[in-house]
Chains A and B, each alone.
Chain A
Amino acid sequence: MNNQFDPRMQPGFNMSPAAQSFQTMPPDGRTNPSSYIQNWQNNMNNMNVGNGYSNNTMQTPPQGMQPQNSQPTGFVGRYVSSPNEIMASEVPMDGRVSIFPTSDLQEVYLKGWNSNGVMITVKYIVDPTWQAPTPETPDVIRRLENLEKTVAANNKKTPAKNSQKEGNE
């Protein structure tokens, strides 16, 4: 006799319609594993999979189809007043990093998952002494003008040499 805990046998147990086909499998679950997987696959297709940060419904690709290797793009994040209000569910598990600047823009928190399920947090603090580098456009333009003058001067000299060579021949 199997004395293991089975929530389906508990009083007041209500199964969602999407999960009801779990009940159709035999108690030992081993007589036909493939049918069990098929039931589960149907459940997953009918179910709104809870990933915590979106309501995306998992779609089962057709049999034999290889997973796409496309990387999700775009940033995830929002302004926060305190890092304590950032929920783990706000960080996607698709390899992206979430960005959480504080509302006064004095701190920025980057959060991401490592492959072992640990949330990694990186904190950036604004350095008040740091100043954005000024554009070096005027200097570049001055150097371009000097270069242009040099090239123009060389061009004036070059035709004279050529004509002298032609005259000698």
Chain B
Amino acid sequence: MPSMQEMAMFLQRYPQIANSPQGQEFLSILRSGDVARGEQMAQNFCSSYGVTPQEALAKAQQFFMNGKNF
């Protein structure tokens, strides 16, 4: 698996991520390696979308396996 720094370097090339406030915060978390902040952000997203972390994980796996959108 790539490191968090490598992930940040890769993701920051996407304008959709680099230009959005949430993407910038996510990149900041990746660069700092602050796992607690990342977990809090993930929980916030799950709460806003009305899904449990387990459901979100299942959807993410479904996305990467079948290419289906959320």
A residues with a Cβ closer than 8 A to B are 7, 13-19, 22, 29-30, 33, 36-37, 40-41, 47-52, 55-56, 58, 60-61, 65, 67-71, 88-89, 93-95, 113-119
Contacts and interface: CB of A to CB of B under 8 A. Distances in A.
Interface of B: 1-3, 6, 10, 12-16, 18-25, 40-42, 44-45, 47-50, 61, 63-70
Contact of A40 (B10, B19, B44, B49): B10
**Interface SS of chain A:** loop
A98 to B, nearest CB: 13
A94 B15 CA distance: 10
A18 B66 CA distance: 9
Given A19-B65, A116-B41, A116-B44, A60 B13 contact: yes
Nearest to B57: A7
B12 A15 contact: no
A67 B15 contact: yes
Contacts of B2: 29, 33, 36-37, 40
Nearest to B41: A117
